[in-house]
Amino acid sequence: MADETVVTETEAAPVAETLAPTPAVAEISAPAPAQAPSYGGFRGRDDRGPREVDGVEKVVHINRCAKVVKGGRRFSFSALVVSGDTKGKVGWGFGKANEVSDAIKKATEASRKNRFSVHLKESTIPHEVTGAHGGGFIMLKPATPGTGIIAGGGARAVLEAAGVKDVIGKSLGSSNHANVVKATLAALGALRPADEILRARGKEIKERKAL
């Protein structure tokens, strides 16, 4: 019978050390890529930097149009934007594009070009006035300080952009956004200061002070 080799605990220890797995090599993590600076506000497809906004710009309405073609439907968008400096200048713009952001950008640029001056009396309008465009008809009345803007929809956007803080408005015609905006702008364009009204009536400013 062959002799059996007995391995003691002290002799087995070195064997276990040789069979132990080698420690894993620590992986070197690559540095995270630098993130591009994010600019606040609307930029569209132009990433040259933040754009300075002169006054306020309000999107009144966005319309989506679908064109049916052989491969399906193609969508395009139109935007109606009102902008103003809140100091007596206001304008509107209309833009069309295949993307919403591009349509808003075109409308905003057009609204800045179409701005005109409005005659205001402190925080309200100098007198009652009406405006009409197409089927839209609106009436505006001056209000005491603290009343606020009692109007909605496109008329409110126009009045806020122009800088009117206290006014009472009532839309009496079509609810179409474009017609309401244009009617409100027509009403604001018909405002005249008191001195100009007195001169048109053939009266002097001194007579007004005596009244």
pLDDT tens for 33-43 read 455 444 344 44
Placement of tokens 């994010």 in the chain: 38
Q: What does the pLDDT average to over 174-179?
A: 94
Q: Are strands 116-117 and 72-84 parallel, antiparallel or unpaired?
A: unpaired
Angle between helices 153-162 and 177-189 (to 10 degrees): 40
pLDDT at 205: 62
Is residue 151 exposed (0-12), middle (13-18) or buried (19+ Cβ within 10 Å)?
A: buried
The residue that leads in pLDDT, 41 or 193, is 193
User: How wide is the angle at C-alpha 148 spanned by C-alphas 197 and 170, nearest 5°?
Assistant: 65
Relative to beta strand 149-150, strand 167-171 is: parallel
Give 121-152 as a 3 state SS string.
ECCECCCCEEEEECCEEEEEEECCCCCCEECC
Domains in the chain with CATH codes? 56-116 (3.30.160.20), 118-196 (3.30.230.10)
Which has more confidence, 129 or 16? 129
- Provide mean pLDDT across the span 124-129: 94
Distance of alpha carbon 168 from alpha carbon 190, whole angstroms? 16
The DSSP secondary-structure symbol of 81 reads E
Q: What is the pLDDT of residue 36?
A: 44
φ/ψ bin of 163: left (φ > 0), alpha (ψ from -120 to 50), beta (otherwise)? left
| pLDDT bracket for residue 203 (50, 70, 90) | confident
Confidence class for position 53, pLDDT limits 50, 70, 90: low
Three-state DSSP at 116 gives strand
Residue 133 has pLDDT above 70, yes or no: yes
Q: How much is the pLDDT for 97?
A: 96
Q: What is the pLDDT of residue 206?
A: 60
Distances from the Cα of 60 to the Cα of 155, 156, 166, 187, 206, angstroms: 9, 10, 20, 18, 44
> What is the rounded distance in angstroms from the CA atom of residue 109 to the CA atom of residue 116?
14
In the chain, the percentage of residues whose pLDDT exceeds 70 is 71
The mean pLDDT of the chain is 80
